[in-house]
Each structure stands twice: as structure tokens, then as C-alpha cells.
């Protein structure tokens, strides 16, 4: 029985070898730069001094080519803490939608905090994803 399974799997293994070797390069090399991904955090959406929603945000810090990536990746918990503190101090609530955040303001504040914590090697901030905790039952913003 084991012999039959081996014989039937052999052609599939031979076919899979060249296709794996010709595959795309890993993501880090394809991106072309160095970065530190911050674990997703939940940031509040506040309207009229009430929390109406939470948005889970994944952020990436883009680094210069000469940055010490290992040192900066070790500081990821500090970057995440700075993001959470900034998001609770002055929420990044969007004026037009309570299902997402004001990305430009979030990027500006996070860049300032990241440079303060990690130095001049941090070039920019990218928001990779935003996912609202609640999609229904959220009040409409006044400007919508």
C-alpha cells in the first residue's frame, strides 16, 4: 500500500520541482526596501465624546537602505505602544466615515513618533489595512 502511494506521488513531485524553482521571489526582496511591520492594533473612533467603533489598523514603517533593521524590529512593541497612545490621546476619527480612520493624520503622527523612537532611519509610514469592528449600527457622521 505504501509502495503504491510512493509510486503515484513520484510524478507529482517531479512536476512540482521546476515550478517551485521558477516561482516569484520572496516578498521582502520583491518589496525592494526594508521595513518594520507593526502588529495590528485597535484604535477607537470617537464621536461626541463616545466611542462608536474600533478600527483594527496594520501599519508598516519604511526604512532607509542603511538602517539597522534588527535593532528597529526589536523596538516594534515601542512603536505599537506609541501608536495606541496617540490614537487614544486624539482619536484619528474620519470626518466622513466612522468605519475608517483619517489615514493622512495617522501617518503624520506615527512618522513623528517613529522618528522620535527609532531615529532618522525611518523614512515613511504606510497603512497596510483597516478593518472596522462594527459595520452596522454605527451612527452617520454629521458631514455625511
Distance CA 129, CA 64 (A): 22
Distance CA 105, CA 50 (A): 20
* The residue to which cell 501608536 is assigned: 83
| Burial grade of 61 (CB within 10 A; 0-12, 13-18, 19 or more) | buried
19-56 confidence digits (pLDDT tens): 444 554 444 333 458 999 999 999 999 998 899 999 99
Q: Please tell me the predicted confidence (pLDDT) of residue 109.
A: 96
Return the ∠ at Cα 88 (arms to 123 and 104), rounded to 5°: 40
Cell reading at 106: 495617522
Average pLDDT, the chain: 83
The pTM of the whole model exceeds 0.85:
no
State yes or no: pLDDT of 5 exceeds 90: no
Cell reading at 3: 509502495
Cell reading at 22: 521558477
Q: Please tell me the predicted confidence (pLDDT) of residue 30.
A: 35
State yes or no: pLDDT of 142 exceeds 90: no
State yes or no: pLDDT of 117 exceeds 80: yes
Q: Please tell me the predicted confidence (pLDDT) of residue 125.
A: 96
Distance CA 98, CA 33 (A): 33
140 closest CA partner among 41, 43, 45: 45
State yes or no: pLDDT of 69 exceeds 50: yes
State yes or no: pLDDT of 12 exceeds 70: no
What's 27-132's CATH class? alpha beta
Task: Check: CB of residue 102 under 8 Å from CB of residue 28.
Answer: no
Distance CA 21, CA 36 (A): 28
What is the rounded average pLDDT of the residues 113-117? 95
State yes or no: pLDDT of 6 exceeds 60: no
**How is the chain split into domains, by residue range?**
27-132
Quickly state the pLDDT bin for 9 (edges 50, 70, 90).
Answer: low
More confident residue, 9 or 58: 58
Amino acid at each position: 500500500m505504501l509502495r503504491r502511494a510512493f509510486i503515484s506521488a513520484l510524478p507529482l513531485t517531479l512536476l512540482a520541482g521546476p515550478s517551485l524553482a521558477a516561482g516569484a521571489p520572496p516578498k521582502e526582496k520583491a518589496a525592494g526596501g526594508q521595513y518594520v511591520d507593526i502588529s495590528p492594533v485597535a484604535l477607537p473612533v470617537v464621536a461626541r465624546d463616545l466611542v462608536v467603533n474600533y478600527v483594527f489598523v496594520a501599519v508598516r514603517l519604511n526604512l532607509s537602505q542603511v538602517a539597522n533593521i534588527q535593532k528597529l524590529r526589536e523596538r516594534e512593541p515601542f512603536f505599537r505602544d506609541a501608536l495606541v497612545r496617540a490614537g487614544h490621546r486624539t482619536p484619528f476619527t474620519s470626518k466622513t466615515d466612522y468605519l475608517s480612520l483619517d489615514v493622512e493624520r495617522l501617518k503624520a503622527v506615527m512618522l513623528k513618533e517613529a522618528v522620535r523612537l527609532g531615529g532618522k532611519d525611518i523614512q515613511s509610514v504606510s497603512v497596510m489595512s483597516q478593518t472596522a469592528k462594527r459595520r452596522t449600527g454605527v451612527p452617520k457622521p454629521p458631514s455625511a
